[in-house]
Structure 1
Amino acid sequence: MACIRGSVELSARSMCYCPQQPWIQNATIRDNICFGKPFNKSKYLRTIKCCALERDLEILPNGDETEIGEKGTNLSGGQRHRISLARAVYSDAEIYLLDDVLSAVDAHVGKHIFDQCINGELKGKTIILVTHQWHFLKDCDQVLVFENGSLTEDGTYDQLMQNQKFGQIVQQFILENQGQIENQQSNPDDGDSNHLEESNPDVQTKVEQPMAPSGSTQAVASSAPTKKASGKLMQDEERSTGSVDWRVYKSYFNSAGGAFIALFILSLFALSSAATVLSGWWLSYWAEDSRTPNQSRSLIFYIGIYIGIGLGAVSLQFVRELVLAFTGIQSCTTLHKKALDRVMRAPCSFFDTTPVGRIINRFSKDMETIDSQLIMNLKSFLGSFMSVLASLCLIAAVTPLFLIVLVPITLLYYFVQQYYRYTSRELKRLASITRSPLFAHFGETLSGVSTIRAYQSEKRFCELNQKYIDEANESVYFQFAAQRWLAVRIECISRFVVFSAAMLAVLYRDSLHPSLAGLSLTFALQITGSISYAVRNFTDTESNMNSVERIVYYCDEIEQEAEPIIEGKRPPENWPDKGQIEFDHLWLKYRPTLDPALKDFTANVLPAEKVGIAGRTGAGKSTLVMALFRLVEYYKGTVRIDGIDISSIGLHDLRSKLSIIPQDPFMFSGTIRFNIDPNQEYSDAEIWQALERSHMKSYVSQLPLGLSDIVTENGDNLSVGQRQLFCLARAILRKTKVLVLDEATASVDIETDALIQHTIRKEFSERTMLTIAHRLNTIVDSDKVAVLDYGELKEFDSPKELLTQPQGLFNMLVNQTGKSNSEYLRRIANGEISYLQELQNNHLKHSVE
């Protein structure tokens, strides 16, 4: 970011940066932490200990050699933040910029990181910590308070506490989080308390607990390399071998019109070449006839026939070019649309195991090859082949003995072509595959450019980019070398053809008219270039058919979700009008080889009921939501919404009737209007009303273009809190009867948290709401709480009733939040105080526009 006024002085040799949205490479955990620096075992062990990663590395399938996946898809939000922090710690820099690194972890882990990492391993370093967890400020040497981009307060914690406004905010935060703060201090080594993250199917357990026994650290780091790499996430890119299957050619021409268009093109090329040869033959006939003494035809006759043949050849070539252009455009458009439709309807597991660079490679380079190169290769091959065929027929007709020479010549061409064909085809396939890592690396580098620059790793990433470019260019270089190899041999064979035609013309000199001899030699000379061109373009056509092969793979082989709309089984237009959800003996697996993630889950959620979903890590909370949205299909049991089995209707009909506010808010590149109403179903007045109810109207109205103002990629020009409020506006606008809330306030400040919680309870009071609990205070005022454990429903009742069970799981979770906080939660559950009223009284006055 450029400094437009003032100056910034930095007297340090190195610095590092932990962004609010952590950037994770598609590599192992160890590679992400070391980040190009030499592996130092003792420093590495201290790093993973102070960043509370020991327990995670023990549970992950391959320890610190576990493959993370693109953008950390294999990890929870808290794990991504701690790995980003571990990268900073391991870099051993002089200045640390930590942007809200404590928000995505629970109270215990946050306290451990602050004590063992920030005040421990990094003691003596310059640390700039951005946080909305105000209780850590008392341990800071200096506190800077910003508002609307300006510095409003500057001083020590004690000095600022004398400021009435600042002191009230801090005291209010400490009061509301007293139980968690108390629990941090009294039980620093307890397990996961109330920050309950769900696991990704590819890593069965992901934890937010702090330390395992210290002795396990060395075992984790030392044993990881010896573990069997059975948990490979990213799948190797498929690569065909041998000749391109005839079905690929069939798919290409079918996408343009089928067998008719293919035969029509062949006919046009054959007739066009025949017309070219006929024009040469007619000139020869004209020359021979002109020497006949009794020739009675006029000059106009010969010229007229010649012009007619020429016009016919031009017309055929025009129609040929037109049909080829149509074929190329239609084929490319059809294949692109079909492949895109298949990718857009692929299940989530496809994107978890397929790098984005691989998908981009197919939709960019492979589609470009089909769109421009393939049709040109096909045109050149057919034109050259038909020209060679017609020329050979003419030479054989003039000098029949040429047919004897033609046999060995044909065999030579065939063997040379086959040898080149095998090599060129596989080199083309290799080139297609080696481009994917280049695309993936380029995209990954762009997304993490701020982190890369902060760690001064530009040179290493440029060298890595050059390495991928070299690997991609190796096969291209050998392709050109193979073409030169072919050209030399084709030229030699072609010269033999010319020599044979000339020798036969000499042998037939007594019986062969000079004009026909000249015609034979002319076409023999032309055939030299035509054969070389035909052989090379035939091979290039097959090589470029590899791009069609790769696109056809996406068109035919990608696993698909269910149909978006099933005619004859569409629900009523006003469905669901109540919002009742029935889970009946539900069983679900992420993959056939894995254990069930949900086991015999049965529950009945009444209309407009608010249900909290609690449970420890890996309990199946997010799995339940995935089953509701059918992101993963359950294999046994039923889910009914207002009496309709959701497995019997289309996915569009189902998902369009459900809304979700995710933990990580997502924004599209485009306008604010498009982000809130992507399907353009609502008027501007309705959008403004939704913005007002989500407390974003004043912000949007101040923008130069209002609703037409631009949102950059991933919403990078908005804060996390603003993105979350836009997601809230999106849910308000849709007015669906069923809403899923996946802890929408884990990474926002206390004012935004209050705004979101208050709005949710006010705006969605008449909707059925399922809330995945990472913090128990968000669900303790629910109508019911469902407690899951290892995929089984253990408890399902009102919070008040569940808290009367001494050995109940929910009761134990509440007790683990500390004495003061557990009493506060019990008072809310018993109806003694209203959580909604508390939010309204204590926080709305602090709301930020």
Structure 2
Amino acid sequence: MNHLIEFWPILKRLLTYVIPFKKSLILAFFLLLSGSLSEVLGPILISYFINNILSKHQLHFKIIFLIIVLYILLQILSVFFNYFQSILFNKIAVKTINKLRQDVMNSALRQPISQFDSQPIGQMISKVTNDTEAVKELYDTVAPTLFRSIALILVILFAMFSLEWHMAIIALFILPLVIIIMCVYQYYSTPLLRKVRYYLAEINNKFNETINGINVIQQFRQQNRFEKYIEKSSQLHYMARMKILRLDGILLRPLLSLLSALVLCNFIFLFSYFSIGAFEVGILYAFITYLGRLNEPLIAITIQQAILQQSIVAGERIFSLIDSPKQKYGKNKQTLNSGEIHIDNLCFNYQNDTKNVLENININIPSNSFIAFVGHTGSGKSTLANLLMGYYPIKTGQIYLDGKSIDSISHTVLRKNILMVQQDPIVLSDTVFENITLGRKISEDQVWKILDTVSLTPLVKSMPKGIYSLLGEEGNNLSVGQKQLLAIARILVMHPKILILDEATANIDSGTEQLIQKTLLSIRKKSTLVVIAHRLSTIIDADLIVVLKRGKVVEIGKHKKLLKNKSCYWKMYKFQLSKI
């Protein structure tokens, strides 16, 4: 019963996607119906030929010729109508799936960052690709096949009742039996199909994880272990598919063929039981032909039910993503006039954690100042940076930017006025120009000026097509330092009120670090600079250094003052000096 409750709302919602194409849909259904009529009229012509010409040995060549021409014409029309309805249905299906994929992708792009922390990327990719492809079959295969099959059944039954109603009633008994088989099939197949879609997503996720981590896998000789992971997921997918195939083998064609054979036996019995002349041979031929034709749409409907179930399960997964909560932002569109930051009694913990990652953080940061967050790994530095970016909802306390609470600021204002350079910046597989502008309107001259500022001009000029040279996937033809400079170049397109550097100099050489420091000096004149650093030599000139330990602020002050305290910061600094 639960399966039926879930089935109809999802099917109804999937069908709403074809409403914009209703005119094309009506035309496609008209062509499909015309094709079905053309198919059914053929046996009636042959039946007339057997009863009125062949059995009476009255060979009227003009009538025979006319019957042959009409029969061939009906077959040609059937092919013509079926071809064009197939083209139309596929066009509608592709356009509908494009719209559905856009909705899924738009939803994925607006997911809270926490969703990407907890959900495997492969699962989400599977929803955008495999699941939408499964839904596509609903529009280009299931819907036309069901309509064509129902139309054929109705036309065939009408033709049967027109020819001989006794035999038509016998044929009619097959329909309720088929409906029972379909209901039983739906009940048992739905949970199996859910497992198939889940295991397929798991396989995608394993492949995605394997390819992304191929360097580590080969370095530590983990090929066999990952092969077993994928083999296990594939085996589970195979077993679930085999259960569905066994179900198909029992409830679909064999059982329906048996029902059709029983009806045919009743036809033969009825034809033999009544006196000679009660039923004409032509009528028996027509009924045997129609029974064969009736069997096919019934089998098609039941087979399509399997595909329909897959589409519904895929639709269920897609709508779970579309309906999931989106990243929330405020409605205040008033621009930030300064880069002032005020953190008031901030506490934070992740969704699955009971212990706070940040505890009672209170910091005032003046506009256009240079502040540094330092601390050992796990002290909460990156979490604080993510909260400043508005990536996670604040549960306790508040962050104020230019006197406005961060959860009240609109997405546009927030992304325009506060930006971050991460330790491992993302480089798109696109040109240098597109990687810097990211769709923002900016001239080539401005891009070259920005490249001069970050000292990347010699590198870009050495490339075959200059700023229009393609960068490799994830910037694999750039060094770590060059990626960092490229990420800073993006920032310089529009100077933000607040700029966060999350350990941006952790993995680069001292020469590149000096270039970045030089660039940051120009940014400091217009922006509040928040730096998260392991390398303490980079933040000696900071206006304020905040030392975090286990999510708490344990020290705060300037470099010299903190050294005089000879506490946590002093120990960290001395330790780093000893390693030089």
**TM over 0.5, shorter chain:** yes
Show the counterpart of 1:360: 125
Q: Tell me the equivalent position of 2:266.
A: 500
Pairing partner for 1:740 from 500, 503, 506: 500
Decide whether the 8 Å contact of 2:425 with 2:487 is kept in 1.
Answer: yes
Q: Which residue of 2 aligns with 1:535?
A: 302
Aligned pair partner of 2:277 in 507, 510, 518: 510
In the alignment, is residue 442 of structure 1 matched against residue 207 of structure 2?
yes
Q: Distance in 2 between the 1:628 and 1:508 partners? A: 93
Find the aligned partners of 1:503 and 1:547 in 2 and give their Cα distance. Answer: 47
Could you tell me which residue of structure 1 aligns to residue 394 of structure 2? 634
Code of the residue aligned with 1:560 in structure 2: it is K
Say what the alpha-carbon RMSD is for the aligned residues.
Answer: 3.9
Question: Is 2:84 aligned against 1:324?
Answer: no
User: Which of the numbers 544, 549, 554 marks the counterpart of 2:311?
Assistant: 544
Identical columns (%): 23
Q: Does structure 2 retain, via aligned residues, the 8 Å contact 1:395–1:402?
A: yes
> Residue in 2 aligned with 1:711?
471
Cα distance, 1:799 vs structure 2: 4.5
Q: Distance in 2 between matches of 1:511 and 1:798?
A: 110
Asked whether 1:401 is paired with 2:166, we answer yes
- Structure 1 residues 581 and 816, CA, compared in 2 at 3 Å: closer, same or farther? closer
Cα offsets for 1:642-672 (capped at 9, x unmatched): 3444322322331132221212233222222
Question: 1:614 matched to which residue of 2?
Answer: 374
One of 302, 322, 327 as aligned partner of 1:561: 327
Q: Which residue pairs with 1:759 in the alignment?
A: 519
Question: 1:82 — aligned with what?
Answer: none
Q: Structure 2 counterpart of 1:817, which letter?
A: Y
Query: Deviation digits for residues 23-64 of structure 1, max 9, x if unmatched?
Result: xxxxxxxxxxxxxxxxxxxxxxxxxxxxxxxxxxxxxxxxxx
- CA shift, 1:340, in A, is 0.8
Aligned to 2:333: 570
Check the 8 A contact 1:589/1:634 in 2, yes or no. no
In the alignment, is the contact (CA less than 8 A) between 1:611 and 1:783 conserved in 2?
A: yes
Matched residue, 1:665: 425
Give the deviation of 1:403 after TM superposition: 5.7
| Structure 1 residues 445 and 596: CA distance shift in structure 2, 3 A | closer
1:386 corresponds, among 124, 128, 151, to: 151
The reply to whether residue 246 of structure 1 matches residue 2 of structure 2 is no
Match of 1:277 in 2: 40
Structure 2: distance between partners of 1:644 and 1:459: 54
In the alignment, the residues of structure 2 paired with residue 681 and residue 664 of structure 1 have an alpha-carbon distance, to the nearest angstrom, of 26
**Whole-angstrom CA distance in 2 between matches of 1:487 and 1:389:** 21
Match of 1:488 among 254, 258, 265: 254
Q: Is the 8 A contact 2:43 2:289 kept in 1?
A: no
**Alpha-carbon distance, 1:435 to partner:** 1.7
Residues of 2 paired with 1:408 and 1:600: CA distance?
75
Q: Give the CA deviation at 1:411.
A: 4.0
Aligned to 1:691: 451
For 1:682, the equivalent position in structure 2 comes to: 442
Distance 1:501 1:555, change over 3 A: farther
> Comparing 766-775 with 476-485, which one deviates more in the overlay?
476-485
* Structure 1 residue 739, shift from structure 2 partner: 0.7
Alpha-carbon distance, 1:461 to partner: 4.1
Structure 1 portions without partners, runs of 5+:
1-239, 825-849
Question: Cα deviations across residues 199-222 of structure 1 (Å, max 9, x unaligned)?
Answer: xxxxxxxxxxxxxxxxxxxxxxxx
Which residue identity is paired with 1:521? I
1:111-510 matches, within 5 Å, as 245-257=7-19, 264=26, 273-274=36-37, 276-277=39-40, 280-281=43-44, 317=82, 320-321=85-86, 323-372=88-137, 375-402=140-167, 404-406=169-171, 408-485=173-250, 486-506=252-272, 507=274, 510=277
Give me the whole-angstrom Cα distance separating, in 1, the residues matched to 2:118 and 2:289.
59
How does 1:85-124 map onto structure 2 within 5 Å? none
Identify the residue that residue 482 of structure 2 maps to in structure 1. 722
Which deviates further from its counterpart, 707-716 or 617-626?
A: 617-626
Q: Distance in 2 between matches of 1:820 and 1:721?
A: 21
Give the match's secondary structure for 1:660.
strand
Where is the helix percentage greater, Structure 1 or Structure 2?
2
What is the CA–CA distance in structure 2 between the aligned matches of 1:812 and 1:387, rounded to whole Å? 83
1:265-309 deviation line (CA, Å, top 9, x unaligned): 767755654564356547757987899x9xxxx999999999998
Q: Return closer, same or farther for 1:819/1:477 CA change in 2, 3 Å cut-off.
A: closer
Q: Secondary structure at the match of 1:711?
A: coil
Displacement after TM superposition at 1:474 (Å): 3.0
Inter-partner Cα distance in structure 1 for 2:421 and 2:365: 19
Q: Deviations over 1:761-801 (max 9, x none)?
A: 24433321111232333333212233445545565554555
**1: distance between equivalents of 2:128 and 2:406?**
33
Alignment partners' CA distance in 1, 2:180 and 2:576: 86
Which TM-score applies when normalising by structure 2?
Answer: 0.84
Return the offset for 1:720: 1.4
One of 813, 818, 824 as aligned partner of 2:569: 813
Amino acid corresponding to residue 639 of structure 1 in structure 2: I
Aligned residue identity for 1:702 = S
Indicate the residue corresponding to 1:209 in structure 2. none
Aligned partner of residue 474 in structure 1, secondary structure: helix
Residues 285/258 of structure 1: CA separation in 2 closer, same or farther (3 Å cut):
farther
Q: Which segment drifts farther, 247-256 or 706-715?
A: 706-715
Question: What is the aligned partner in structure 2 of residue 98 from structure 1?
Answer: none
Contact persistence 1:288–1:515 (CA under 8 A): yes
Equivalent residues in 2 for 1:10-21 (5 A)? none
Q: Tell me how far 1:748 sits from its aligned partner.
A: 1.4
For 2:217 and 2:352, how far apart are their aligned partners in 1? 39
2:530: which partner in 1? Answer: 770
Shift of 1:578: 2.9
8 Å contact 1:660–1:739 — kept in the other structure?
Answer: yes
Instruction: Give the match's secondary structure for 1:538.
Output: helix
The answer to whether the 8 Å contact 2:138/2:307 transfers is no
Residue 315 of structure 2 aligns to which amino acid in structure 1? V
- Alpha carbons of structure 1 residues 658 and 665: separation in structure 2 relative to 1, 3 Å: same
What is the identity, as a one-letter code, of the residue corresponding to 1:537? Q
C-alpha contact 2:145 2:304 (8 A) present in aligned 1: yes
Distance of aligned partners of 1:448 and 1:589 in 2 relative to their CA distance in 1, 3 Å threshold: closer
**Normalization by structure 1: what TM-score?**
0.59
* Partner secondary structure for residue 771 of structure 1: strand
Equivalent residue number for residue 286 of structure 2: 519
Q: 2:10·2:316 contact (CA, 8 Å) conserved in 1? A: yes
Shift of 1:714: 2.2
Shift of 1:631: 0.4
- Count of paired positions: 570
Instruction: Could you tell me which runs of 5 or more consecutive residues in structure 2 were left unpaired when the two chains were aligned.
Output: none
CA positional deviation for 1:821: 5.3
Q: Which amino acid aligns with 2:536?
A: L
1:582 maps to what in 2?
A: 342
Pair 1:783-2:543 in alignment:
yes
Q: Cα gap change, 1:413/1:419 in structure 2, threshold over 3 Å: closer, same or farther?
A: same
CA 1:670–1:697 in 2, change beyond 3 Å: closer, same or farther? same
